Structure 1
Amino acid sequence: MAIWSEIAGTLRDEIAGGAYPPGSRLQTEAVLAQRFGVNRHTVRRALADLAGQGIVHSRRGAGVFVAARPTVYPLGRRVRFHQIIAAEGRTPSRQIRSVDTRPATAAEAVGLRLAAGSQVHVVEGVSLADGHPLASFRSVFPAARFPDLPAAIREHGSITEALQACGLADYTRAETRLTAQSAPAVLALALQAAEGSAVLQSVAVNVDAAGVPVEHGTTWFAGERVTLTVSPD
């Protein structure tokens, strides 16, 4: 058996035994080379074999990580990130990276049924499970309906709670469009994934009880970490 294959087998057994939990980083190539008494090229070949099996994946400039089990993410009429992740037995969190107000794009205006150039609040950030990024998101809201939303988001740190504070008790999903694409550099950095890795883009419109659009949302899911399911509701 080739040496690289033996090294790959040893690492595979250690990962299966829990020595490296899902999402954790393996030792560097230099450390592994010293551990096994081989050159870095041999270690690199072993890691490539594990990557080919979907056991690990590399992140440019960060290292090699154990692949996390995919999160089952249902897309139904009510999609609440914290509830979905908590139901999986994992810890949900969100990093809100920017809150801005600007004119709506053409697509946003159509989705929200606004006049061209209407002002909208734009919230961008990253959704995480157990501290690992699952998705990057951009949520767009009509500024005229929710004038105090930016302040409410900064106060509550939760979009759902901020909307409740602004008078929107509930909302449901009216439509969702899914597209597969490759992650450009900036998106890959936000997701801590390799540039060019597979992502699933979801473009959705949420409405209030009267059917009036309240949110135009775009979410980019890390393809290797999420299994999207569609509910019949």
Structure 2
Amino acid sequence: MSDTDDSAVTAWSEAEPGDDVARGTGVALWKQIAERIEADIVEGRLAPGMRLPTEMELAERFGVNRHTLRRALAMLTERRLIEATPGRGTFVKEPPIRYPIGPRTRFSEIVAREGRAPSGRLIGSRIEPASAEIAEALHLPMGADVLRVDLLREADGVPITIASHWYDAERCRDLDLLLAATGSVTRALETLGLGDYRRLETRITARPADEEERRRLSLPAGRVVMVVESINGDAQRRPIQYTRARFCSDRVQLIVKN
């Protein structure tokens, strides 16, 4: 968030306490607060991506206790107008990232084109035997050694997707170390001479997020993830990567390019 955005939120939060709510009207205070914040979002006084003041500051601004304030924030969260991210605060939700899926699909490039800052971190990696599904996708014998790499990808610090990637362990030896060093799947594969990989197949489904996905993606209970399973191949269309990515359904708009 820029200094300008900080100044705007400061000015917004410094209204006289209680100015935006009216007692004795028969309309619950928490509902009045939610409606006031929603109006400020819709009318642009609170712009997408702005961080809201803390609960304590908001409660003081509206002249209510924190329990009342939390009911208002819960309503705005349910309406998907704001979103809390642990360790960062509560933000006005930004429009979903337009995420085109085509022959050459790169997370960092897509997010950067949207004017957001891409980042990611390695959650873990290990060698494991290929399941029937992974063996078929990578054209390997079932049980062959595959390298599994799990990543969390973010835009402006907001988690967008958890992705599990599988590679032929022999062909992509030390790719996890290269990925940890470069922070980029593409650069790691380039080091191995496989940087110009292309999408061969994509399958998209949806399901409720499981406990780990809710924790990693900072999702409330009941939220849905879009599961994008894909196979990428080298210049000779030989499969080199099988991926199962779980996207936060309201943070991206998947676009299939023909």
Q: TM-score range by the shorter chain?
A: 0.7 to 0.9
Q: Is the 8 A contact 1:20 1:26 kept in 2?
A: no
CA-to-aligned-CA distance 1:135-180 (integer Å, 9 cap, x gap): 1111111012122323322332211111111121311111111111
Structure 2 counterpart of 1:53, which letter? R
- How far off its partner does 1:198 sit? 1.2
- How far off its partner does 1:114 sit? 0.6
Matches within 5 A, 1:204-215: 204-215=230-241
Map of 2:129 onto structure 1: 103
* Distance in 1 (alpha carbons) for counterparts of 2:77 and 2:185: 36
* Distance in 1 (alpha carbons) for counterparts of 2:53 and 2:251: 18
Structure 2 counterpart of 1:161, which letter? R
* Distance in 2 (alpha carbons) for counterparts of 1:160 and 1:189: 27
- How far off its partner does 1:101 sit? 1.5
* Distance in 2 (alpha carbons) for counterparts of 1:60 and 1:195: 15
Choose from 171, 195, 219 the match for 2:245.
219
- How far off its partner does 1:12 sit? 2.3
CA-to-aligned-CA distance 1:83-119 (integer Å, 9 cap, x gap): 1111111111111121221211221111111101111
Map of 1:160 onto structure 2: 186
Asked if 1:148 is matched to 2:170, the reply is no
Q: Which of 1 and 2 has higher RCO (CA within 8 Å, sep 6+)?
A: 1
Q: Is the 8 A contact 1:205 1:213 kept in 2?
A: yes
Asked if 1:78 is matched to 2:133, the reply is no
In the comparison of the two structures, how many residue pairs are matched? 231
- How far off its partner does 1:121 sit? 1.0
Larger Rg, first or second structure (1 or 2): 2
* Distance in 1 (alpha carbons) for counterparts of 2:143 and 2:129: 5
Query: Which consecutive residues of structure 1, in runs of 5 or more, have no partner in the other structure?
Result: none
2:128 is paired with a residue of what secondary structure? strand
Map of 1:27 onto structure 2: 54
Q: Select between 202-211 and 13-22 the one with higher mean Cα deviation.
A: 13-22
Matches within 5 A, 1:52-71: 52-57=78-83, 64-71=90-97
1:168 is paired with a residue of what secondary structure? coil
Q: Is the 8 A contact 2:49 2:93 kept in 1?
A: yes
Tell me the percent identity: 37
* Distance in 1 (alpha carbons) for counterparts of 2:158 and 2:88: 14
Q: Is the 8 A contact 2:46 2:92 kept in 1?
A: no
Structure 2 counterpart of 1:202, which letter? V
1:69 is paired with a residue of what secondary structure? coil
* Distance in 1 (alpha carbons) for counterparts of 2:254 and 2:81: 20
Asked if 1:90 is matched to 2:136, the reply is no
* Distance in 2 (alpha carbons) for counterparts of 1:70 and 1:23: 15
Structure 1 counterpart of 2:235, which letter? A
Asked if 1:138 is matched to 2:196, the reply is no
Query: Which consecutive residues of structure 2, in runs of 5 or more, have no partner in the other structure?
Result: 1-24
Map of 2:68 onto structure 1: 42
- How far off its partner does 1:123 sit? 1.0
* Distance in 2 (alpha carbons) for counterparts of 1:160 and 1:120: 18
* Distance in 2 (alpha carbons) for counterparts of 1:125 and 1:97: 5
Map of 2:140 onto structure 1: 114
Q: Select between 16-25 and 212-221 the one with higher mean Cα deviation.
A: 16-25
Q: 1:228 to 1:102 in 2, by over 3 A?
A: same
Root-mean-square deviation over aligned CA pairs: 2.4
1:90 is paired with a residue of what secondary structure? coil
1:124 is paired with a residue of what secondary structure? strand
Map of 2:222 onto structure 1: 196
TM-score by length of 1: 0.88
